[in-house]
Chain A
Amino acid sequence: MFIEDVLAGAVRYGSSVIFATQGELISERAGVINLGIEGSMLCGALAAFATASATGSAVAGIFAGLAAGGVLAAIHAFLVIWRGANQLAAGLAISFLGLGLTAALGVSFVSKQITGLGAIEIPLLSDIPILGKVLFTQDALTYLALILPFIVLFALSRTKWGLILRATGERPEVVRAYGYDPKHVRAAAVILGGALAGLGGAQLVLAYTLNWVENVTVGRGFVAVALVIFGAWRPLGAAAGALVFGAALSLQLQLQARGVDVSIWLLQMAPYVLTLLVLVFTSRRQSKQIPEDLKAVFGGT
């Protein structure tokens, strides 16, 4: 069924972007914009794929993806927080580094096969028409992606650590007065964010592509940065944006599979054009929600 396939795809293709949006959001709420998230996703994807290919265990791949994404983000954290590097330039350079590293190291994995994460059908719930296939016949990481925004929302708004993290993004001097080092809080947020993006990359290869190609993410990390703005720096809003992106991707693939007479190259533009359109309609309004301390970096005029 067309609608069912498109919606199931939206969830499956969108979930890697959900991870990336939540990671970027955590980083930005602490006051650091990380454009290196694309690189973290790529490194996470390759680490996950390589590990799964070597050990035969997709679960080991998940942890490798987390670690690789976090390590790359740690470089960003160090340069930006302790060395005062420009956040946008450092992030982009890190994304290029990730792209180059994974392209070079990934060569030997190009034609390898892995057994990815299988779909887990949730008993009873998966029998619900449409919704059952869309939400309850997915892989383990996709389930996690669907729960994660709620966890992030709870952690940010209801826990002490969330309060400290948000305060670091708004008024770092208050955090210092409170007895915490804003630098440490920021570093933790950036690294955690990168690890989540790495997890997104892992989901991408372990549950969707099941093979490795150079630049497998094709801009999903950058899309995530855009979707954080769309979601006004709120976890659920950003995740909703990721699902819309996934839907555009899924619709495009379903149309291709059904042999619609439109160039595949034009169809592939849809998710990016949609993301841009979404920004057009929301940028002005959302700019009021930007974390106070990010304004200097990302404010615009």
Chain B
Amino acid sequence: MTATTPTAQPPAILERLSAQRDWLGPLVAVLVILSALPFLGIDVPEVLVRCCPLLLTALAVTIPARTGLVNVGGEGQFALGAVGAAAFATALTPETPGLVGIVVIAIGGTLFGALWAGVAALLKVTAGVNETISTLLLNYVATLILAYSVTGPLKDPEAANFPIGAPIPDATRLPEINGVHMGVVVALILAAAAAWLLGRTRWGFKARVAGGNPRAALRNGLPVGILIVGALLLGGALAGLAGALEVMGPDGRLRQGLGVGFGFLGFLASWLAMHRPGWTVAAVVLIASISVGGDSLQLDLGLPATSVYVVTATVLLVVLGWRGTRSGARS
């Protein structure tokens, strides 16, 4: 990126090493955190399972952030994704092959998540509504749609008065190894794909230019509006997929309050990592550990699940304050 003259071109091997440097630091950080977990009495498989939705909701922030967008709608996109997953699951019969069912449910989640982010994208491009505000407000609407679904159209007829959806077919539950379901691998692959998309493709480059200086991008003929819509749709799709994987993974059905806070924790992780995909993985592992560790602490002390925000938000505030003056960025 920096080398423009032929004489300054570093040897190919050095270039390849520096490309891997983006991953080396986060990898070490992840290994350090994971190896520390047993000493803290935190269940490693549980942390890995928690990483799946958080990584996807974090990427849902990272990709739009490259085009200069602040997507705080992970919470709502996740909820709608879960609703979409459950809705698509009702079309399946017990005879549907497992893999087909899993794909159908995943498509349902992805589609609904993208749709929900699409609302914010549409409002931004057509009416100039700031996406930070619209995604925040859409979260509340999405939470209510989820609550409506499990008490109305998607309610489990067997469950008397519980706000839960019908269980999805057994064949579509994600396969697990030692309590870690396949979704974790999917999330990691998507993180690598996002890193490639943002760092190595023409689209990623255009998105970055549009995010860095929209006016200059427009003047150079870049379709800023389309890039914005694309980035938000992609983000929403990832958060929606997280909802679908959660339905197919640990829960096996839609329920009220499914994944509450995952969208916000993903948001914190992405900002903690300054929207670099590699470091986002590390930040997600850290936040997932805090979140899982917090769960047992909360059970012991009788604290609500949202208490975990205290620690995670404080970490982000400290980092924002410590880093702010160095980067000199006010916006």
Query: B-contacting residues of A (Cβ < 8 Å)?
Result: 35, 75, 78-80, 83-90, 92-94, 96-97, 99-101, 103-104, 107, 214-215, 218-219, 222-223, 225-226, 229, 263, 265-266, 268-269, 272-273, 275-276, 279-281, 283-284, 287, 296-298, 300-301
Contacts and interface: CB of A to CB of B under 8 A. Distances in A.
A283 B129 contact: yes
A-B pairs with the 4 shortest C-beta distances? Answer: A100-B309, A84-B324, A265-B148, A97-B313
Interface in B128-154: 128-134, 136-141, 144-145, 147-148, 151-152
Contact of A79 (B137, B311, B317): B317
Nearest to B323: A85
Contacts of B12: none
Interface stretch (B3-11, B38-46, B94-102, B300-308): B300-308
B72 interface: yes
Contacts of A97: 309-310, 313-314, 317
Given A101-B310, A300-B131, A301-B214, 19 more contacts: A79-B324, A84-B328, A93-B268, A93-B313, A94-B317, A96-B313, A97-B309, A101-B309, A107-B304, A218-B140, A222-B133, A269-B141, A269-B145, A272-B141, A276-B123, A276-B137, A276-B138, A279-B129, A283-B128
Interface in B273-331: 302-304, 306-314, 316-317, 320-325, 327-331
A90 B304 contact: no
Interface of A is mostly: helix
Contact of A96 (B137, B309, B324): B309
A90 B321 CA distance: 8
B267 interface: yes
B308 A86 contact: no
Contacts of B316: 89, 93
Interface residues of B, number: 58
A249 to B, nearest CB: 12
B306 A88 contact: no
Nearest to A297: B331
B127 A219 contact: no
Interface string B141-175: 10011011001100000000000000000000000
Contacts of B145: 265, 269
Contacts of B228: 301
Q: Which of A79, A84, A218, A287 has the most CB of B within 10 A?
A: A84
B271 A266 contact: no
Contacts of A297: 330-331
Nearest to A33: B132
13 contacts: A35-B132, A84-B324, A84-B325, A86-B324, A86-B329, A93-B268, A99-B306, A100-B307, A107-B304, A272-B137, A276-B134, A276-B138, A300-B130
Given A83-B324, A84-B325, A107-B302, A96 B136 contact: no
A185 to B, nearest CB: 16
A85 B321 contact: yes
Contact of B264 (A96, A276, A296, A301): A96
Nearest to A90: B320
